Amino acid sequence: MPIPQEFIEELKSRTDIADVISSYVNLKKSGRNLMGLCPFHNEKSPSFSVSPENGFFHCFGCHAGGDVITFIRRIENLDYVEAVKFLAQRAGMTVPEEGKDNGMGRLRMRIFEANREAARFYHKQLYTPQGKKALEYLRSRGLTEKTIIHFGLGYSPSDRFELVNHLRSKGFTAAEMIQANLANESKKGNPYDRFSDRVMFPILDLRGNVIAFGGRIMSDIKPKYLNTSDTPAFNKSRSLFALQFAKNKANGQLILVEGYMDVIALHQAGIENAVATLGTALTQEQAILLKRYCDEIVICYDSDNAGQNAAARAISILRPTGLKIKVIAVPNGKDPDEFIRSNGDKGAAKFRMLIEDSGSDIEYRMKKLRDRYNIEVTEQRIDYVDEVCRIIAAIDSAVERDVYISQLAGETGVEKSAVKSQVDDYLHARRRDSKKQQQRTVRNEMSAKNDKINAEKFYNLRAAHAEEAIIALVINNPDAAADVFRRLQPEHFVTAFNRRVYEVLRKRAEAGNDISLADISGAFTADEMSEITSMLVARPREQDIHRAVEEYIAALEQERSRLSPEQMAQAGDAAIKEYLEKKRKQSKNRRN
């Protein structure tokens, strides 16, 4: 059953969108709105706008948008009902029982419950005779009983049916175990344990739910590490191991390492701001997540080729976020776990010294290049300077560029003016490429070529624009909505997505309900809400509503027949310039 409308109305009255979002994003006043760095994509200049007056947010960079419920859905990776519950708890409210969700939200809760029960099962198995080898392994790695309990470490028995049988006794179905990725399905359709004979590392989300597991094999079977695949409750590209602990100890800095044991060893040593990715390379989503809790990242990956390549990839993903980046080179090719154990009681102090002595990511990359070239040889010195100039040209700060230009000139004996000239050439080429990319993006926006929500828009551009204008007018001017709904039926719409939005608005209005973004967000996905918000942002409130209604309906009537793709040629350069100027004026008006 849906959540009662009265409850949503009360929740809206108790929830301030600016207050909610400011707990995740640093917002600053900009005219009538608030601006900040978008939490959903990498950016250095604020393009994320919050309109308390209209009750929505919108990013002019990645186009994420919606009401406060949509924001929580995105930032906390929740479905609609879970987001409502999240906000209700924040407002001191309880969602009525009749609003209980029996769909995806219910499945997610069952996965959380199954994972929690599995974590308890694994931990108990660690202290059984069959778990003896796993417990000895953990102790041989220097872990104390306190640390084992703190991280909830455990053991998955070699018998492939022990967990399945245990969960079945607790009331979990085979389908729920498989959905949680705790079990695989045999050819005969029977579930069997996914993890077998492995030390188990529970993975928790920021609210303390067990969302997944990592398992290290106790034999020579491959793979050495096995991780939970993505489930309705877990997305590995959006999660980080131990972030629920590290975020409270960050103090502006997080340490990024490769493995579970590295994180655990650092935390045990009192360095509790360490996190790790989950068996994959760092993702953009994880980089954005890190930025929510720190200003500086210290990368400490293994010294082998794989680790160094991973560090280089991580730097390329982290730098666009604006985070400060430092890179630790652990001596003698050791990983953090080995380094701390090999230094005994002094391990933690020596690791902290490594952090203090670590250089920036630019210095790290320059050193890696320096090791490849002999700058005493003219040709190699030229190649070295050229490669470093490419790196420096990618730095946004003019001051930072100048510092490294001076450093490179001093190191190689090349005149600073010559180094600067080379950097400037690469910098100009980079800006040209960026401008071309911007023009391509604008062309695609104008033609709706890459619109994934309303794919029909590309072939019916004029009709879709008229439909979007009508939708925006109705939401912005509810008093005029009755006249529009009377004159325009849903079947008059050409594109299916816009028709569905119009139908939702019309049915709500006919039932005497409000039609703001917050009122309709339960009927759409987070991405669809972004599309609807973009319709509102692109169109200011109409001054002459009657005239606007007449024009939009007339335009739509003219476009009832589907246009051919050939008639939808991409816009030319003049149109692009006009579009960019319109965007600039809109941005200026938002600030005033």
Q: What is the mean pLDDT of residues 359-372?
A: 92
In a shared domain, residues 75 and 155: no
- Non-local (6+) Cβ contacts of 205 within 8 A are 211, 239, 244
> Which residues constitute the domain of residue 201?
104-233
- Whether 290 is covered by a domain: the verdict is yes
Q: Locate tokens 């939808």: which residue?
A: 568
- Whether 282 is covered by a domain: the verdict is yes
State whether residue 50 is helix, strand or coil.
strand
- Cβ atoms of 499 and 454 within 8 Å: the answer is no
Number of structural domains found in the chain: 5
Domain boundary among 80, 99, 118: 99
The reported pLDDT for the residue numbered 563 is 45
- Whether 125 is covered by a domain: the verdict is yes
Q: Does 67 or 333 have the greater pLDDT score? A: 67
Q: What is the mean pLDDT of residues 29-53?
A: 92
In a shared domain, residues 227 and 285: no
Structure tokens belonging to residue 545: 């509503």
In a shared domain, residues 249 and 226: no
Q: What percent of the chain has pLDDT over 70?
A: 91
- Whether 182 is covered by a domain: the verdict is yes
Q: What is the mean pLDDT of residues 349-359?
A: 94
The DSSP bridge pattern shows strands 274-276 and 252-257 to be: parallel
In a shared domain, residues 120 and 93: no
**What is the spatial distance between Cα 209 and Cα 111, in angstroms, rounded to a whole number?**
10
pLDDT band at 242 (very low <50, low <70, confident <90, very high): very high
pLDDT band at 102 (very low <50, low <70, confident <90, very high): low
Q: What are the φ and ψ backbone dihedral angles of 274, each rounded to 5 degrees?
A: -100, 140
pLDDT band at 440 (very low <50, low <70, confident <90, very high): low
- Non-local (6+) Cβ contacts of 421 within 8 A are none
The reported pLDDT for the residue numbered 449 is 62
- Cβ atoms of 277 and 311 within 8 Å: the answer is no
**What is the spatial distance between Cα 293 and Cα 284, in angstroms, rounded to a whole number?**
15
Which CATH number is 327's domain given? 3.40.1360.10
The DSSP bridge pattern shows strands 198-204 and 359-360 to be: unpaired
Structure tokens belonging to residue 330: 């652990």
pLDDT band at 533 (very low <50, low <70, confident <90, very high): very high
- Whether 579 is covered by a domain: the verdict is no
Which CATH number is 135's domain given? 3.90.980.10
- Whether 81 is covered by a domain: the verdict is yes
In a shared domain, residues 213 and 264: no
The reported pLDDT for the residue numbered 195 is 97
In a shared domain, residues 517 and 533: yes
- Whether 529 is covered by a domain: the verdict is yes
In a shared domain, residues 393 and 298: no
In a shared domain, residues 152 and 91: no
**What is the spatial distance between Cα 587 and Cα 581, in angstroms, rounded to a whole number?**
10
In a shared domain, residues 95 and 114: no
